[in-house]
Structure 1
Amino acid sequence: MSHRTFLMLAIALLMFPQIAQTLFSPALGDIGRAFDVGPQVAAQTLSVYFLAFAFGVVTWGRVCDRIGRRPSMLAGLAIYAVACVLGFSVRSFNGLLMTQVLAAFGAAVGSVVTQTLLRDRFRGTELAQVFSLVGMALAASPAIGLFSGASLVQGFGYRGVLVALLLLASILWIWSWRNLPETRPSQLTSVGLFATMGDMLRDPGIWRSALWIASFNVALFSYYSLGPFQFERLGLSGEWFGYSGVMLALASGFGAWFNKKLLQIGCRPLQLIRLAALTGLLGGIGVWLLQAHVWFVLPMLLVVLAFGMAIPNILGAALRNYTDRLGTAGALLGLFYYLLIGVGLMLAAWSQALGETLMICNLLALSLAIRAKNAFV
């Protein structure tokens, strides 16, 4: 399998969880109407998704160290497809939440196993640059998800979104079955899950990485969970929410591209994380000031730009001390930060306060970056 084909498949698999999340976001309003639940309840769908995703991450990370990267990926995509099929038949909101739990568990394979595949093949600065390249591709995910999701909901309701997700999972399963290589090292150190967890819980760098990743993700995904209702309050249709995804994708892509260029000229990752947190904080203040107008989308561009800059640097170095157990360590790191993301999004859904959520997340990220001094992750 060529280097280029491998990266294309890896990028597609990494995009899958994010596309699945953003494709579902425009359906929240229709879900609320279909099951007669309010915005606060409907927005909890994404919170539940992330919490289930966290447990999926730790499961698939452990499994891919035991049975291999390829069979784990095929099993996770198959579970996601089954969850989509079950979603057509539910008759209650709680039933829909249960199918989202199963879907999130399956989708987690696209995150942790694909990151493990990349860490199997790349190291150090090369890995950070690969994650920057991946970040530029991932920038298209919000545009694809929000725009496609809004169009599908407009024509077919939330069930149209489920059909699209089922087709996407099926295509990725076939592509992976035909082309995904097995990259698990033949001599893999057998380190217990709980032993690794103990090491990571005592590692301040791991906690800092998890809090950084959670902060930037909650800032990004709070827009996807609260944005549809914000547009409704301003009297705008769901299509406008979909169009905003195109603008956000451009900003995120620019952030990842800008980060790659700055790395190439010698900027340190910690400097870039600090710059990203400050940029996101300015964006959050702007969203808070403009929340009564549709122009709040413009400062939101700074928030997603910050996401595109920060995440590649954090992911590239987070597990540099755990190369002998990348699947298990990646799973546990994912468990830590996805639990934090789920709790953060639950609080954001409860508050229905987008601007305040963005400011708190970026203040936390900036505080961590300042306290890190010359240490990194």
Structure 2
Amino acid sequence: MPFAVYVLGLAVFAQGTSEFMLSGLLSGIAGDLHVSLGAAGLLTSAFAVGMVIGAPLTALAGRAWPRRRALLLLLGVFVAVHVAGALTDSYGVLLATRVAGALANAGFWAVALVTALDLAGPQRRARATAVVVGGVTVACVVGVPAGAALGELWGWRSAFWAVALVSVPAALALSAAVPGGRADGVPQVSARSELRALARPRLLLTLLVMALVQGATFCTFSYLEPLVTRVTGFGPGWVPLVLALFGAGSFAGVTLAGRLADARPDVVAALGTAALALGWAALALTAAHPVAALALVLLQGALAFGTGTTLITRVFHLAPDAPTMAGSYATAAFNVGAAAGPWLGGLALGAGLGFRAPVWVSAVLMCAALAGAWMLSLSSRPAPAARPGAGAAAE
């Protein structure tokens, strides 16, 4: 695997830390800015909305950009808005910086995915995807718990400063490792042709399943801190450990998926969604039992990111004639779920259904995802061969 692919994973680590770290900072942000937990949770949704809008737009705009210049510019914007977020006392300004940071992150993802696949070659697509997505899982293992620990020690703003600082070495490594121009051999496909690929039914169904899987994941993950402190009974100091467990499972899941995603992706996706549906229901039922809750957090992290990586790889298989836009489709679907999940979880909390309610919402979303994955598995089966003499019998 080219070294530049791992550098892209490093940059995604910094940005993934920002995207997910609010799950360990919700109470601090809500108290400091005098807003509800649901409003604080919407900061995660705002980031996801920016990713949904930014992914296709920046992918279209970046078709002619030199890869290295685009990546460095987008990462620079990402750093700037985190500095602004760390300095503000306004919830509205913080919300705006989350959207702006997401737009930059979406553009980075769109360019980074296609760059990684070009550098790795067609025979290593799943592994290249796993390395880039692996940056997110490492963020869950290291960055998010570290952000939660910083928030506990020095307040939530220190986590924003840390993200900005970690992005600097990532930018330096990108400038040295990523080629400056467009990758050689990239098919020159028109934007209209790439957009037309989005209308394929199996691709649309795959994107819908991906959105549902991520919606379920983020619905629980965004409210994991109040769940484990107010239902499971852990103290605030346990929050970084619980987040690290989810991240460790995520890393294991994405690593395994990187090796299996090219074999039977639809079957893997169907099995993963079924296990996720059962796992979220089990977590909702056993959240008051510490051992069971910790084990399920680890397992659900592995299943969620392993299944998600499989679905991302499947998008590239289903859209081979959309080399630029396929990654933006996957990014947008990922973040549709990331936006809807915390919003639905916040509605459940606001309705007074208790701190387990977001986990039950995740279970319901996964039942819908399971139906979609089952349809994908059916549509991938070859048509049965006609029996000898069937035509004569019909006559």
TM-score normalised to structure 2 length: 0.85
> Given the superposition, is the C-alpha separation of residues 79 and 28 from structure 1 closer, same or farther in structure 2, using an over 3 Å criterion?
same
1:12 aligns with 10
1:302 Cα deviation from its structure 2 partner: 2.7
Q: Which structure 2 residue ranges, 5 or more long, are not aligned?
A: 350-356, 382-395
| Cα deviation, residue 104, structure 1 | 1.3
The whole-number CA distance in structure 2 between the counterparts of 1:263 and 1:336 is: 18
Q: Is the 8 A contact 1:208 1:368 kept in 2?
A: yes
Any idea what the Cα deviations from partners look like across 1:181-238, whole Å, max 9, x if unmatched? 2443466425235x543441x2112212212222222232223311122234245333
Q: Which residue of structure 1 aligns with residue 280 of structure 2?
A: 284
8 Å CA contact retained: 1:142, 1:248 = yes
- Offset of 1:318 from its aligned partner? 0.7
Deviates more, 1:245-254 or 1:89-98: 245-254
Aligned positions of 1:296-375 closer than 5 A: 296-352=293-349, 353-375=357-379
C-alpha distance in 2 between matches for 1:333 and 1:136: 15
Greater C-alpha Rg: 2
Structure 1: runs of 5+ lacking an equivalent: none
Q: 1:210 to 1:226 in 2, by over 3 A?
A: same
Select the residue among 162, 165, 168 that pairs with 1:167. Answer: 165
Aligned counterpart, 2:82: 84
**Partner Cα distance (2:236, 2:187) in 1:** 49
Aligned length: 371
Change (3 A) 1:245 1:232: closer
Alignment of 1:191 onto 2:190 = yes
Evaluate the alpha carbon distance shift between residue 186 and residue 47 of structure 1 in structure 2; reply closer, same or farther with a 3 A threshold. same
1:222 maps to 2:226: no
Contact 1:279 1:306 in 2 (8 A): yes
C-alpha separation in 1, matches of 2:4 and 2:280? 37
**Preserved CA contact (<8 Å) 1:291 1:355:** no
Q: Partners of 1:189 and 1:132 in 2: how far apart?
A: 25
CA RMSD, Structure 1 to Structure 2 (Å): 2.5
AA matched with 2:117: R
Residues 20 and 100 of structure 1: is their aligned pair in 2 closer, same or farther, counting only changes over 3 Å? same
What is residue 37 of structure 2 aligned with on the other side? 39
CA contact (8 A) 1:24 1:161 kept: no
Percentage of matched positions with identical amino acids: 17
Using structure 1 for the length normalisation, give the TM-score: 0.89
Alpha-carbon distance in structure 2 between the residues aligned to 1:252 and 1:221? 13
- The question of whether the paired residues in 1 share the 8 Å contact of 2:218 and 2:341 is answered with no
**How many angstroms apart in 2 are the aligned matches of 1:336 and 1:137?**
19
Distance 1:324 1:369 in 2: 23
Q: Is the contact between residue 136 and residue 256 of structure 1 (CA under 8 Å) also seen in structure 2?
A: yes
